Chains A and B, each alone.
Chain A
Amino acid sequence: MAKITYITKSGETFEYEATSGNLMELAVKNKVPGIDGDCGGVCSCATCHVHVAPEFYGKLDAPSEIESDMLEFDDNVSEYSRLCCQIPVSDLVDGIKVEVAN
């Protein structure tokens, strides 16, 4: 069980617990504003862009080249940017906070 916190552009906070799937699916299921997940998680749309809290960013596997290339062209990119469809729910991310980028 991992607790995940999303902070939207308007500053609203959404907290959920999950055991499987990824951070995009969890957000879409709960209609977190700003995370659309249009492509269902195949890294084609960049509509699940988040900024990961710095203390958690380094704990995640590094983004793949495909993900990095997608982010290169998105708005509001920071050094903590990730597409959250590429972050699986696991104990590793328990307590993670992510800010919705767009």
Chain B
Amino acid sequence: MGISDFPDAFKGTRETKGVCPFNDQNDPVAMLLRFKDVRKAAHDYKSFISGAKPGRIVVPSEVNIRETRQIPFEVDPPEHTEYRALVEDWFKRPLQPEYEAGLERIVESELERVLRKGSIEVISELSLPIQSKALTLLLNIPMEEAKTWISWGVHVFRSEDSDLDGEKAAILYDYIDAEIDKVIENPDDSLYGVLLNSEYQGRKMTKEEVKGVLILTFAGGRDTVINYLTNTLAYLAEHPEALRQLEDNPELVNTAIEELVRYFSPLTHMGRVVAKEKEVCGHTAKEDTRISLCWASANRDEGVFENPNEVVLDRKMNPHIAFGFGTHKCLGATHARQLMKVFLRVLTKKVESIEIIDAQENIEDWGAHQRKVGFDSLQIELNPKK
């Protein structure tokens, strides 16, 4: 098996049972594994709610380390609709040419920096800096701020040995509190400033609501983007022909990013709380228990995807749900897609070949299933184009 192979961890259970139980801190989760079940449940926000106790729809649950409700993520319609409408246009800014150009400058300068070094550890030296600097564009704040976030390291919301480290999580929450206070003192045109000025149900957004949007923006787009960038480099290292294909056919980028995000599915799953007892795939989802929507498993469903375990860069029909599905589909997807496109374009322009020197896989443990989601470290050598 190659370093850039990401096996389908759920195949057996998906095909035989369709549901996989997982015990998370005594608040069990029934993971839905089949494409159709996942999509149907994601669409049914009335039966499977996101507006539960803050942190509970995240798996592993964050109820013990977070009180702030992430917005619009942990709110359901009708309230969700107004919150989402408030932020929708802001999160579509990545489609603007000047935003795209900004991303291009970031990726170019980061790549040039590591190309001068030759051999690098991808996560700490490339993926994290690119993700952090790109986030300053999304927040519309000075790029120097990324230095702080980079200094937190990859494990800002998790400690090395635990997914749930309250002290680590507090670093981010305290930081956001302080930033909100600064912008209240000196209003600006950052996401903080825009939200503080926004009206929800005819009144100004509260500090707590603004914080909820910001926590979502920071947390939702960190590990996911870092895994995507890192995994893509591993893939291109082992598939040098893909680099050339992307170079010869720039249009290929459009289908390639969708295929890579399907294959990697950087977010394995997302939970929901059952509002009223309901049958799903032979499982009785009892009221006030949890299910999860396993995007990673659904994206390998053979009933939907031909050759699901192959990366087909020009896959024409690709109804993947790597960015979720329905009401709560990923708010940051426009930013992520633009960054993914720019990253591939700049790489093909500047890099001749990539060699993997060493890789430590990051394997998630979902009870009966172990899923590779990325790497704990990836040492590579980058060879520039002459």
**Contact across chains for A42 and B39 when beta carbons are under 8 A apart:** no
Q: Is B254 an interface residue (CB 8 A)?
A: yes
**Contact across chains for B304 and A42 when beta carbons are under 8 A apart:** no
Bound together, the chains give a CA A9 to CA B69 distance in angstroms of 33
Bound together, the chains give a CA A69 to CA B255 distance in angstroms of 20
CB-defined contacts of A42 to chain B, threshold 8 Å? 255, 258, 315-320
CB-defined contacts of B92 to chain A, threshold 8 Å? 36
CB-defined contacts of B337 to chain A, threshold 8 Å? 38
CB-defined contacts of A40 to chain B, threshold 8 Å? 254-255, 257-258
**Contact across chains for B316 and A66 when beta carbons are under 8 A apart:** no
Bound together, the chains give a CA A64 to CA B304 distance in angstroms of 12
**Contact across chains for B319 and A69 when beta carbons are under 8 A apart:** yes
- Bitwise, A17-56 to B at CB < 8 A (1) or not (0) is 0000000000000000000101111111100000000000
CB-defined contacts of A93 to chain B, threshold 8 Å? none
**Contact across chains for A41 and B304 when beta carbons are under 8 A apart:** no
CB-defined contacts of A45 to chain B, threshold 8 Å? 329
CB-defined contacts of B40 to chain A, threshold 8 Å? 73
CB-defined contacts of B11 to chain A, threshold 8 Å? none
In chain A, what residue has the closest Cβ to B320? A44
Chain B positions 11-46 with a Cβ under 8 Å from a chain A Cβ: 36, 39-40, 43
Chain B positions 336-375 with a Cβ under 8 Å from a chain A Cβ: 337
Per DSSP, are chain A's interface residues mostly helix, strand or loop, or mixed? loop
Known: A66-B304, A73-B39, A73-B43. A41 touches B254 (CB 8 A): yes
Interface size for chain B: under 10, 10 to 19, 20 to 34, or 35 or more residues? 20 to 34
CB-defined contacts of B43 to chain A, threshold 8 Å? 73
Q: Please pick, from B318, B320, B321, B334, the residue contacting A38 in the complex, using a CB distance under 8 A.
A: B334
Chain B positions 73-132 with a Cβ under 8 Å from a chain A Cβ: 92
**Number of residues on chain A facing chain B (CB within 8 A):** 14
Closest CB in chain A relative to B53 CB, distance in Å: 27
**Contact across chains for A38 and B333 when beta carbons are under 8 A apart:** yes
Bound together, the chains give a CA A70 to CA B326 distance in angstroms of 10
**Contact across chains for B319 and A43 when beta carbons are under 8 A apart:** yes
CB-defined contacts of B39 to chain A, threshold 8 Å? 69, 73
Bound together, the chains give a CA A36 to CA B320 distance in angstroms of 17
CB-defined contacts of A73 to chain B, threshold 8 Å? 39-40, 43, 325-326
Chain B positions 240-281 with a Cβ under 8 Å from a chain A Cβ: 254-255, 257-258
In chain B, what residue has the closest Cβ to A86? B317
Chain A positions 46-100 with a Cβ under 8 Å from a chain B Cβ: 64, 66, 69-70, 73
Known: A73-B39, A73-B43. A44 touches B319 (CB 8 A): yes
In chain A, what residue has the closest Cβ to B92? A36
Closest CB in chain A relative to B167 CB, distance in Å: 38
CB-defined contacts of A38 to chain B, threshold 8 Å? 333-334, 337
CB-defined contacts of A39 to chain B, threshold 8 Å? 258, 318
In chain B, what residue has the closest Cβ to A25? B254
Closest CB in chain B relative to A41 CB, distance in Å: 7
**Contact across chains for A44 and B318 when beta carbons are under 8 A apart:** yes
Bound together, the chains give a CA A65 to CA B40 distance in angstroms of 15
CB-defined contacts of A36 to chain B, threshold 8 Å? 92
In chain B, what residue has the closest Cβ to A31? B95
CB-defined contacts of B320 to chain A, threshold 8 Å? 42, 44
Closest CB in chain B relative to A77 CB, distance in Å: 12
CB-defined contacts of B317 to chain A, threshold 8 Å? 42-43, 64, 66
Chain B positions 211-263 with a Cβ under 8 Å from a chain A Cβ: 254-255, 257-258
In chain A, what residue has the closest Cβ to B337? A38
| A-B contacts, 25 listed (Cβ < 8 Å) | A38-B333, A38-B337, A39-B318, A40-B255, A40-B257, A41-B254, A42-B255, A42-B315, A42-B318, A42-B319, A43-B317, A43-B318, A44-B258, A44-B319, A44-B320, A64-B317, A66-B317, A66-B319, A69-B36, A70-B319, A73-B39, A73-B40, A73-B43, A73-B325, A73-B326
Closest 8 CB pairs of A and B: A40-B254, A42-B318, A73-B43, A42-B258, A44-B319, A43-B319, A66-B319, A66-B317
Other 15 A-B pairs with CB < 8 A, given A40-B257, A42-B315, A42-B317: A38-B337, A39-B318, A40-B254, A42-B320, A43-B318, A43-B319, A44-B258, A44-B319, A45-B329, A66-B304, A66-B319, A69-B39, A73-B39, A73-B325, A73-B326
